[in-house]
Amino acid sequence: MQITLQQFAFAAIALLVLGSAVMVVTLKNIFHSLLFLALSFLGVAGVYLLLSADFLAAVQVLIYIGAIVVLMMFALMLTHRVMTTNLSQTLGQWWVTSLPVALGILTILFRVFVLYPWGVKAPVGAAPTTGIIGRTLLTKYVLPFELASIVLLVAMVGAIVLAKEDKLDDSA
Amino acid sequence: MIPLEWYLGLSAALFSIGIFGVFSRRNAIGILMGIELMLNAANINLVAFGRFLHPTMLTGHVFAVFVMTVAAAEAAVGLAIIIAAYRNVGHINVDKISVMRW
């Protein structure tokens, strides 16, 4: 089997994604694992590019790396003394519980994915997706679109209410 | 041409790594990181299925956008809860946060 350039790129990106994901869950220093999480998100953006999903790749970089990782960094700075790295971050007996669960789910997923006949259609060439996504969001999926904005608004208000300091108890 | 099974295998491995992170971390932020990895794996699946099974309709892309929205909301609320817990308990070790009220 001839390995094409595309397949080589996929292998490299998959190695990046999985390697940095393993670092995310195993590293002792939680700040370093957060940086590896950003690297893993970047690799997933590369996977989107290979799937010719240009809009999603850009959104992945903007939302995950630009917003979620930075948000987590803020939370980490607020709750954790970054300099103290020798705090135990993981469960002591992780190989008893976590490893069998993860490996079992991996086996089940692999069996389903490999054995099921998916009926793959002939692929179309790469084309810009942004316009079609926007049109679909504002015609067919306009109700979920509006609901998603309400979810974001409620989450924002909830986050502010939860995170703000409770001054009412002192005055009362 | 990359076969569909490669993408599915990648997302299965990423999902399992996320599960492992959620189960093995003590730090609440580490658990959130595992959840984000799992959401990314699900997104890869959605886009790959959309590309290989319905190449002309971009339903998978649209659904992935919704998943990202929910992931952003989840991260914001989750981190706010973690900060509130830190303010009340003084740490975010989920093994030690076991009281229902204080």
Q: Domain ranges in chain A?
A: 5-83+126-171
User: CB of A2 within 8 Å of any CB in chain B?
Assistant: no
> What's the pTM value of the predicted model, to 2 decimals?
0.89
Q: Which CATH class is domain A5-83+126-171?
A: mainly alpha
CATH fold for the domain made of B4-89: Helix Hairpins (1.10.287)
Mean pLDDT of A119-145: 86
Chain B contact for A76 (CB, 8 A cutoff): yes
CB-based contact B36 A88, cutoff 8 Å: no
Which two tokens mark B62? 């649209």
Residues 30-89 (B) with a CB less than 8 A from some CB of A: 30, 32-34, 36-37, 40, 43-44, 47-48, 51-59, 61-62, 64-66, 68-77, 79-84, 86-87
Q: What's residue A84's pLDDT?
A: 54
**The amino acid at A64:** Y
Say if residues A91 and B25 touch (Cβ distance below 8 Å).
yes
Distance CA A51, CA B75 (A): 26
CB neighbourhood size of A84 (10 A): 8
| pLDDT at residue B71 greater than cutoff 60 | yes
pLDDT in tens, A14-49: 999 999 999 998 888 888 999 999 999 999 999 999
For residue B25, list chain A residues with Cβ-Cβ distance below 8 A: 25, 89-91
In DSSP terms, B25 is beta-bridged to: A90
Instruction: Tell me the pLDDT of chain A averaged across its residues.
Output: 85
Look up the ipTM and state it: 0.91
The pLDDT, as a whole number, for residue A171 is 46
Chain mean position to CA B57 = 25
